[in-house]
Structures are given as structure tokens and as C-alpha cells.
Amino acid sequence: MYKSALARLQLETDLRRAIERFEFRLFYQPIVSLTSGSIIGFEALLRWQHPERGLLNPTDFIPLAQETGLIVKIGNWVLHEACRQMQAWRVHYRSNSLKKISVNLSVKQFSQPDLIEQIGQILHSTGLDACCLALEITESVIVENGDVATTTLSQLRNMGIELSIDDFGTGYSSLGCLHSFPISVLKIDRSFINPIAANSRNLEIIEIIVTLAHKLGMDVIAEGVETKQQLTFLRNLRCEYVQGYFFSPPLDSLAAAALITANLQW
């Protein structure tokens, strides 16, 4: 117990210093349109270049960042950096196909009273058009924020920002309310996509989620696509977008830029 309490305290101390020491990095994973076959955007994914422990994944530190509230400051950095990078790419590549940067928003960040102003300020200072930003929230963000969630989501949507539900199917969802939120995209969790070959019940669940989304006028992004077979299945279901190791793992900004230049088609 003593050892684990000490490790936690150490992690918290390191985390507090990480922003000032510029230890956070963003990796970018492409999102591919199945209509055009090309990359339409990226999801920004946080990494921590820890001075002793090397490159850490979000699962190693985001839970503690959430518990301690540090996620608000870190999340703000993520938003700013992702918008800055996207605007730089848009200016540099003048590419019309590069449309969206997706950023994950945690429950704590979402319930900040000044969230709207903060995001407005970030868009203003980076010069990124609001319609190029997509925010990913989980079902728990809506459930835990009640009526305030509806107001905040509407304000974000009115600014022109796209809203998507991340990890759809894994959380507690109020299906009856889904249509009343200004959500444009459902992201099917990769736990449904990954065992596609192994489990035919997953195929049915995926089909149901795609149908649900389409009936509600939403688009679908399938996460965790790793094989050609999964891609074909999703194409046949008329799923709009796909993301996963089959196309590319999350990349640092240089490698992501090389991928934009390569202009691959799937």
C-alpha cells in the first residue's frame, strides 16, 4: 500500500511539472472517408514524454489527471496544440480534403463554466475555423452533466463545432435522449470491431449501431479497424468513416504530415 501510494504521489508531482517542462506530445491518427477513400482528418491523441519512463500512453496518466483535476489544464493545452497544428497543415497543404481535427474532451473539462470562452479563444488565437474542429465526448459526459450538457452542447454546435460520441456502445446511453442532442457522429468502440471474425453477435451490434446512427441523421466512424475483412464489412454497411491500425497507428506530427503528402487512397 505504501509503495503504491508513493508511486501515485510521484506520478502526481511529475504530472504537475509536465506542462511547464513541455513534456506532452500529440500524436495523430488518420480518419479515412469511405466515400472518397482518402484521409479527411485526424484524431489528436495525447502522449507524455516522461524524462525517466519514456513515452507514456494516456491510460498511464489520464485517470490520475482526471482525479486531481489536472486534466483541465492539460486538456486546454491539447485543444490549443491540436488546433494550431491543424491550422498549420491547412495553410501549408491548402488541401480541401483535410477537413477535421478531433479532440477528446473529458467530463471535468466539459463541466468547466468557461469552456465555451476557452474554446472560442483557442480558435481565435490559432485562426482555425470552428467547422474544422470536432470534439469527442463519451456518453458519461452527457449523463453526468444533465441539463447543463444540453446547453453546452448546443452552444458548441452553434459555434460550428462538430460533436461526436466516442466509444459508443460501451457506456450507459440514454437512447431516448440521443436524438435531442446536437450530435453529428457516433464512433463505434473498437471492442465491437476488433473481434469481427470471431463473433457474429458483434456483427449484428455493429449493424444496429450504424442503422441507429443513420436513422437519427448521424454519421458513423468505426474505430480500431485492423483488417481488410473488417473494412469490407463496414463498407457494405455504408459506414462513413474508419480509423485504425489497418490505415495507420497514431503518428507524431512529422510522420502525420508525410502521410498527408503521400495522399494514399483506400
Contact map string, positions 135 to 154, toward Mg ion, x by CB under 5 A = -x------------------
165: nearest Cα among 178, 156, 180: 178
Determine the 3-state secondary structure of 45 from DSSP: strand
Least separation in angstroms between CB 3 and ligand C2E: 26
Of 53 and 92, which has the nearer Cβ to ligand C2E? Answer: 53
Of 73 and 93, which has the nearer Cβ to ligand C2E? Answer: 73
Q: Does 229 help bind ligand C2E (rule: CB under 6 A)?
A: no
Helix %, strand %, coil % for the chain, to 5?
50, 20, 30
Least separation in angstroms between CB 103 and Mg ion: 8
Residues 192-221 that bind ligand C2E (CB under 6 A): none
CB 23 within 8 A of CB 50: yes
Q: Specify the long-range contacts of residues 66-75, CB closer than 8 Å, at least 24 apart.
A: 66/106, 66/107, 66/108, 68/12, 68/15, 69/108, 70/12, 70/15, 70/16, 71/106, 71/108, 71/109, 72/108, 72/109, 72/112, 73/19, 74/18, 74/19, 74/24, 74/46, 75/105, 75/106, 75/108, 75/109
> Which residue type is seen at 115?
L
Would you put residue 135 in left (φ > 0), alpha (ψ -120 to 50) or beta?
beta
Of 33 and 102, which has the nearer Cβ to Mg ion? Answer: 102
Q: Does 126 help bind ligand C2E (rule: CB under 6 A)?
A: no
From the list Mg ion, ligand C2E, none, partner contacted by residue 62 (C-beta under 5 to 8 A by kind): ligand C2E
> Which residue type is seen at 100?
K
**Sole binder of ligand C2E in the list 11, 18, 45, 134 (CB under 6 A):** 45
Q: Does 108 help bind ligand C2E (rule: CB under 6 A)?
A: no
Least separation in angstroms between CB 214 and Mg ion: 20
CB 29 within 8 A of CB 42: yes
Of 178 and 231, which has the nearer Cβ to ligand C2E? Answer: 231
Contact map string, positions 92 to 131, toward Mg ion, x by CB under 5 A = ------------x---------------------------
Contact map string, positions 241 to 260, toward ligand C2E, x by CB under 6 A = ---xx----x----------
Least separation in angstroms between CB 6 and ligand C2E: 25
Q: Where are the alpha helices (DSSP H) in 24-127?
A: 58-68, 71-93, 107-110, 115-126
Residues 138-167 that bind ligand C2E (CB under 6 A): 166-167
Positions in the binding site for ligand C2E (CB under 6 A): 29, 45-46, 57-59, 62, 75, 78, 104, 106, 136, 166-167, 190, 223-226, 244-245, 250
